[in-house]
Amino acid sequence: MKPDLQQKFNELFNQPATAHFFAPGRINLIGEHIDYNGGLVLPASITFGTDLLIAENKEGIFRFRSLDFEDQLDIPLQEKYEKQGKEWFNYPLGVMQQFLLHQKPMKGLDMLFSGDVPVGSGLSSSASIEIVAAFAFNETFKSDFTKLELVQISKKVENDFIGVNSGIMDQFAVAFGEKEKALKLNCDTLEYEIVDCRLNEYVLAIINTNKPRKLSESKYNERVEQCQAALKDLNKELHLPYLCGINTAIFNKYEHLISDEVVKKRARHVIEENDRVKEASIVLESGDLKKFGELLYASHASLKDLYEVTGKELDTIVDFCKTQPTVAGGRMTGAGFGGCAIALVEAKSFDDFSKKLIPYYTEKIGYAPAVYNSQIGDGVKKM
């Protein structure tokens, strides 16, 4: 157990923590904006995440504290909880609500959360908090939920309690991630395969644009509607439940059915990106990181030119990556409109990469990015 966290826990609650849990953040290596089109994604858990220390108390009070936020909450056990403003503790509070809806017995807990996933970066700090809370409650109260059920509970928290209409990829990757592995996940069926993802002489540079990732609800919904329009046009002759029901070769034969050129571009991105996920899984298994890097660049180009969700900040990072011989590839990751990019950088050159990128980006954008060195780590676990 981290001694600084244990010491802080003692100071806050006048008792030692009895258990320590950890859940990571996540990145999506490739496969963007296809989760709502019945396609495949390739997420992985990272070595940044959320620690949670807990101990039962005798007062029947749930005490939420964080080293990252000033807001705190003390609340007794009750039959139902409501969302309270926009504070961070709504995520574990929502998990408690789900446990109560499933009639799981609970007792008062002292809880200390501490995370190093940048909030608003698109690396799933919220899913990390949800999953670590759900896993800790499940272990502490012997609730007998499976890991998949904890993922589904956490998604319901995000959708129903918090009010964010997100998919299941984030919680799934946070829960099921493995060191040096990626997950090829079908977001529709939740079937998945473990993909070897040994980075060898490379590391993952995670570059936060520091542009607040305020995912434009109107732009997001517009993309969803355009994909639905493309599917409707294609189904004049085909019978597809989702756009990703066909590959690029078949799309090329039937794209004439789509009259709107913008809608056609959106559909092309989705279908080609789904094919890239399949190819990326194969090249990662074979250890061909150079080819994987090329697929990262191709994914970003598609998101920029066909799906139009990148923006100046993300494009500036990827343009810089292309000038560096020590970088195999890079792309935006997440929904876009800000947030983060990833780059596959030679480990020995990471510091040099970071030192060069920061002034390059700052000159063009007007403020500095944050650059992190990450590996692919384990999913949720008890420490």
Point out the residues that are catalytic. 170
Q: Is there a contact between 374 and 208 (Cβ–Cβ < 8 Å)?
A: no
Separation CA 309–CA 321 (nearest Å): 19
CB count, 10 Å around CB of 279?
15
List 286's β-bridge partners, or say none.
none
Separation CA 270–CA 278 (nearest Å): 13
- In angstroms, the first-to-last Cα distance of the chain is 7
- Strand 61-66 versus strand 109-115 pairing type: parallel
